[in-house]
Structure 1
Amino acid sequence: MTGPIMFAGAPYSGMTPMIVTAAEIARRGHEVHFVGIERYRGEFDHHTAGTGAQYISLGAGESPADPEGWDDATYFSFTQRSRWKSALAFITHNLDVDLQIEWYKKLDAEVERVKPALLVVDCLSQHAIDVAMTRGIPYVIKACLMPSFVMQPWLPRGYPWPYSGLPAEMTFGQRVANSWFKFRMKTVMFRPKVFPRAVKYAKAVRELGINAKSMQPRARIDNAALVMFHTVLDLEYDFPKPDNVVSVGSIAPPLPELPDEKDISSWLDAHESVVYLAFGTINRLSTESIGQMLQAARRLAPHALLWKIPKDQWENRPAGVEVPDNVRVEHWVPSQFDVLAHPNVKVFFCHAGSNGMHECLNFGKPMVSRPGWIDCHDIAHRIDDAGMGLTLDDVHEVKADDVVDKLTRVLEDPSFTERAQHWTAKQRNAGGVTRAADLIIELAS
């Protein structure tokens, strides 16, 4: 008999794969509890309706990691040209010890109440790993990130260090830069703005009786029952992995996700070749870049462009510039899965986020990338090296010529679609949500 299974999601990292997996397990009749911030309750309720799965809220989740709270200075510190400075700014800004301890206490209380047989935790949920290791509860780490971002202690010498934005094949200068970046990242906790917070967290760990090994990256992996990646391991640059690492491929909800949505789907039906453009809610375009994008779209006709852009950004477009007839602008798309699944969508023009890349690969669509920040530069190299896309030459200021060049090449050269479909087949062969649920249920039995 399977005991209760508790999922612990990470704020602001995209919880769809976690929620879809929880829903699949609940549909099979198992007791499921999902702990997350309030913003994910609606998505959870949609996917788990009628299953009896329970949502446990950590509250509003007001955190420095929430992009909606970033002013322009903060955002641009994360997206500056220096990979090291952007990574340091991100770490410094988001290291909120008080919030981590608050979440730890709330989750610990719920674990005491529910007494789960297994914890399924997002790789970014440090508070959840703390609870699991301290209480000795078996746990599964689920990760939408690329494996190298999670398993840094296993990376060999010369490996392009996570967040460096460097490719597998490096010039001599890039190898030197990589070594220097790696050193600085491994010693980041000794930086003046970081060290006091690290000391504060270590003190809290002692006072609360948290297992100190939970602070060690290798121990977190070694003690996990499974480390489950929502990718195909072949997409990653190779490195040795322990035996508890598994790949289940990308995870998508049952489709169509919103079968009654007709507005966007009808527009897609009416256009034979569509580029879907979505840079996520984090990335911000300058007025000049929006103007350049509209110029590029006009030149791409007869191809059409469905552009998802937040309303506040769209209002920053150049004054007096008309929107071409082949462009449809949406401030919110009800289901990105349904859009990417549509046969008339030929290319995904994206910011090379991990979630977006894997969502796209469910449907064999190639990509053009404008990597926005932190890990996106690394992922863009994986997309290019896998033969399923191209990256803009200048990712900071969009240029119409560059956009037209990259999109035209990907639209007209069938090899990009063929390679994308190759990786889609591998993703599906990995088992997806069915295999993820099978493995989790087996561990909870």
Structure 2
Amino acid sequence: MGQHETVATSLAGAVREEIGTALAGVDAELARRFPGDSGTRQPVHTVYVPGDAFAPDTARSWGDQALDALDRHAPDAATLAGVLELADDLAEPVYERVRAKLAHEPIEDLRIDFEDGYGQRPDAEEDETAARAARLVARACAEGSAPPYIGIRMKCMEAAVRDRGIRTLDIFLTGLAEAGGLPEGLVLTLPKVTYAEQVTAMARLCEEFEKARGLESGRIGFEIQIETTQSILGPDGRATVARMIDAAEGRATGLHYGTFDYSASCGVSAAYQSMDHPAADHAKAVMQVAAAGTGVRLSDGSTNVLPVGPTSRVHDAWRLHHRLVRRSLARAYYQGWDMHPGHLPTRYAAVYAFYREGLEQAAARLAAYVNRAGGDVMDEPATAKALSGYLLRGLDCGAVDVAEVARLTGLTRLELDRLAGRPTKH
């Protein structure tokens, strides 16, 4: 005991050193391009409201309208479960959590829209709307009533609207800076990107604003909206979305799929434009591979079928929305867009059911992995990372509680973060 067998080798130590030196550049490049997940919470959805429709009580108003829709069309857990075909054991916990979510945090990510949802307005009007948006966001953040993530979608970098988009961005950011600083959950969205150079230009704008305001370099990030065919496949036949991530120079935070613009650009007729169209699946598969390991997150798009009208019509729209959200979650698109307050009940019902129905199995597999126990599945570190990420996402959105995850896994939040490869502050 305590003695080690002497083993024979043939390669000189200098060989290892030479190889290490030769690959040092590759090591640095891997670390730069593929830093992994940031470890921060990803919202489950993004809600868009036109710039002139945004108000201090927008989030609360959406929550109240969503609760009213539940009261009128699914007043109890059994009704909602029947509409969405939820398992009996999920009905009550999902329903209770949905109502609680709508009461205290109905919107996780809010985008004030100055693009398609706002349209073309006189410059003076858009100037004032942008300044007003900055004032209201600053006030909401100071009062603690703002959603965790909030920001604007500017107009795109195409020549016809470029100057207008830049000016709106400048007015909004300047208003925030002068009202006390940029909020922690600030999110900016760049739409209709066709060339990587447009992303470079957006990164330049962020950099110049940081310099002008004495902010830390890299403080401002932005999402890239994928809604043109050129953002997926370039004229030379190469995939372009990866080039766009690189062009952001570390500032890209997300890739958001634009269902209807992208479908239209592919020639899909209006009746068939949907998140589950094959053209959409192809685009999102390319986005997913391009973003993997970079820390840039994916968001699916939306449905334009609104849950309004008589109960039968609302239930039909809820079933469609719920199915599409579940489909996205299964494909690892953990975020999407919601277009109407009536979409919130099914957004959260789908998300909560997704995490709750797999909770015990995921926890058992992770506990077995950590404890090197047996079982009918032999998981590898990559799978343990995915299992931890699944549980962490469930915790972040409120689908599951820290206490029940700890009881089932024997792990703390910090231990889950480490297994998931997330940075920890401890």
Q: How would you bin the TM-score normalised by the shorter chain?
A: under 0.3
Structure of greater Rg = 2
- Bigger fraction of residues in helix: 2
- TM-score computed with the length of structure 2 as normaliser: 0.24
